Amino acid sequence: MTLAQRRGDTRHDWWRGATLYQIYPRSFMDANGDGIGDLPGIAARLEHIASLGVDAIWLSPFFTSPMDDFGYDISDYRDVDPMFGTLDDFRALIDRAHDLGLRVLIDQVLSHSSDRHPWFAESRANRDNPRADWYVWADPKPDGNPPNNWLAAFGGPAWTFDSRRCQYYLHNFLPSQPDLDFHHPEVQQAQLDNLRFWLELGVDGFRFDVVNFYFHDRALTDNPPSPDWYRHAGHPRSHQLLRHNTDQPENLAFLERVRTLLDEFPGAASVGEVGGSDPLTIMAAYTAGDSRLHMAYTFDLLGSTGDARQLHDVLARFADFGDDTWPCWALSNHDVARSASRWGEARALLALTVLASLRGSLCLYQGEELGLPEAELAYEDLQDPFGINLWPEIKGRDGCRTPMPWKADTVHAGFSPATPWLPVASPHRPLAVDRQDADPDSLLNRVRQLFKLRGESLLLRQGDQQLIDPAALPEDIFALLREHDGHRLLCLAHLGRDSEPAPLAPDTLVDDFAGWHSLALPGMPVPEAAGHRLLLAPGTAVWLALH
């Protein structure tokens, strides 16, 4: 029986307005007691995810890997790393997810492989083997220096010299993550064949890691310097704009080949991660029409702090690209500090309420439903090469990757009987799933109500969106209007931290105003009302059904 038959859902556009739940396998649940999460552990906890009212899971990499970058350095694209289980374990996970009505998307890291992949071993052996040109190789400059000024994400040049070929190879990330050359047609086909393998195994789609990094400028042109505002990002390569090692026009044709493959499997969906210097423009181009990616996301909201004007500006810039583009908005993932710490732990529900009001698809990161803050780790506990290399100015990504707390009062919070690969954060224990399950007023139970409300609303999942100009609003107020089939919903949030309650007059914000009634939002007080005016308290949100 197919998933669609189990769900009574035959729509191929299920992804439009859907909510995905990201699982970081190493840290979700350990079933075999070795301190590292695994596929059987995930399968055992899928009921928790289904209870959130989400539509699909996205699994971060679980493929065979030396784990220099924790699975984002793949040495076998078609097998499960033994630390996570077996292919049979993955098949069982798919079956269990489908039984619960959850689709399964998996990460695909196509732009680069591990240096231990057989492809790279063959490529680096000499300059005339069948895969000699499968990776990006370049001769040194006359003085022996790298071919250009490109920088790697984890610090230093994006080039490493290989004494076998007496050439440099490109790596946009770690030196052990050499970049494949997508200008080579055989590379494109090999990666498309790898995608087909997983589709035939039963997955429902893919999340594409650094999807705008597949192609590079063949002329190896130096990247230009960045403006001061961009350098303040504090990233190892933030003093140069990513112009020539990303965002190349050839990528559009390859994404169309990916979409053609996905269309062979009705209902299969894709979401791309877009980084770089101009991500919203690329995100829009990659999702325009119906021949490329279904969805994409950038880091614009992944770095948000709950500032009303910044939130409005990001959404307004994306809206300029038109309605045929489709975003997948996220506030947290495995690469950034958790949203509860950026927005404020007391505002975790507010952040998710704002997220749930947006046009587009959404992504929750494991633990976000619990309000987990960013974990503080000692230097000796770090595992992430990004943090180890750049400590203490940049602490890396381990703080958002610590184990899920399942049972507050058990060893390692119920994640594993063994010492975990990263320590369980002490502040996470009282936020454990068992504690919040038992409390009807917990964040977890309110998040369940919130995403059930969104999931049942065609207006929220697929309706149009009109942003309200901040000039028409009191300071710290974020507002947008959603509309579908004659129904309208005004979504308001007071994002101020120390400001006063804000008086709002909905009749001044929307045309054809004839009245309103407030929907019951979980955990949010009904604002005071007087006629057509209401008073919205800081840290609260309201959805007004207009009539």
Same domain, 529 and 437: no
Domain with residue 523: its CATH number is 2.60.40.1180
> For position 232, what pLDDT does the model report?
74
Same domain, 372 and 513: no
209 is catalytic: yes
Same domain, 529 and 420: no
163 domain residue, yes or no: no
Cα–Cα distance for residue pair 204/95, rounded to 1 Å: 12
Crossing angle of the two packed helices 443-455 and 348-356, in degrees rounded to 10: 10
Q: How many residues does the chain have?
A: 547
**Burial group, residue 290, by CB count within 10 angstroms (0-12, 13-18, 19+):** exposed
Same domain, 197 and 292: yes
Same domain, 437 and 348: yes
The H or E element spanning position 546 is: strand 541-546
What residues make up the domain containing 528? 464-546
178 domain residue, yes or no: no
In the listed set 438, 455, 472, which residue is the last one of a domain according to the structure? 455
451 domain residue, yes or no: yes
Same domain, 531 and 441: no
> For position 1, what pLDDT does the model report?
35
Same domain, 447 and 479: no
Same domain, 305 and 413: yes
Query: 3-state class of 214 per DSSP?
Result: coil
Distances (CA, A) of 54 to 144, 261, 446: 53, 26, 14
Q: Residues 43, 92: contact at Cβ < 8 Å?
A: yes
371 domain residue, yes or no: yes
473 domain residue, yes or no: yes
Same domain, 442 and 527: no
Q: Residues 120, 132: contact at Cβ < 8 Å?
A: no
Q: What is the DSSP letter of 411?
A: G
H runs (alpha helix) in 100-155: 118-123
H runs (alpha helix) in 383-520: 385-390, 433-437, 443-455, 458-462
123 domain residue, yes or no: no
Same domain, 351 and 221: yes
Reference 55, options 482, 462, 458, 451; nearest CA is: 451
Domain with residue 229: its CATH number is 3.20.20.80
Of the residues 55, 73, 209, 476, which is catalytic?
209
In the listed set 437, 455, 473, which residue is the last one of a domain according to the structure? 455
> For position 7, what pLDDT does the model report?
41
> For position 227, what pLDDT does the model report?
87
Q: Residues 488, 546: contact at Cβ < 8 Å?
A: yes
| Owner of token pair 């993932």 | 333
13 is catalytic: no
> For position 10, what pLDDT does the model report?
52
Same domain, 238 and 370: yes
> For position 390, what pLDDT does the model report?
84
151 domain residue, yes or no: no
Full pLDDT tens readout for the chain, 547 residues? 344 433 445 568 999 999 999 999 999 999 999 999 999 999 999 999 999 999 999 999 999 999 999 999 999 999 999 999 999 999 999 999 999 999 999 999 999 999 999 999 999 999 999 999 999 999 999 999 999 999 999 889 999 999 999 999 999 999 999 999 999 999 999 999 999 999 999 999 999 999 999 999 999 999 999 988 777 777 778 889 999 999 999 999 999 999 999 999 999 999 999 998 889 999 999 999 999 999 999 999 999 999 999 999 999 999 999 888 999 999 999 999 999 999 999 999 999 999 999 999 999 999 999 999 999 999 999 999 989 988 888 899 999 999 999 999 999 999 999 999 999 999 999 999 999 999 999 999 999 999 999 999 999 999 999 999 999 999 999 999 999 999 999 999 999 998 889 999 998 999 888 889 999 999 999 888 877 789 999 999 999 999 8
Number of domains in the chain: 2
In the listed set 402, 433, 455, which residue is the last one of a domain according to the structure? 455
Same domain, 429 and 480: no
| C-beta pairs of 427-432 under 8 Å, 24+ apart in sequence | 427/373, 427/375, 428/367, 428/370, 428/372, 428/373, 428/375, 428/402, 429/405, 431/370, 431/371, 431/372, 431/405, 432/370, 432/405, 432/406, 432/407, 432/408
Of the residues 13, 139, 264, 320, which is catalytic?
264
143 domain residue, yes or no: no
> For position 160, what pLDDT does the model report?
98
Cα–Cα distance for residue pair 188/201, rounded to 1 Å: 20
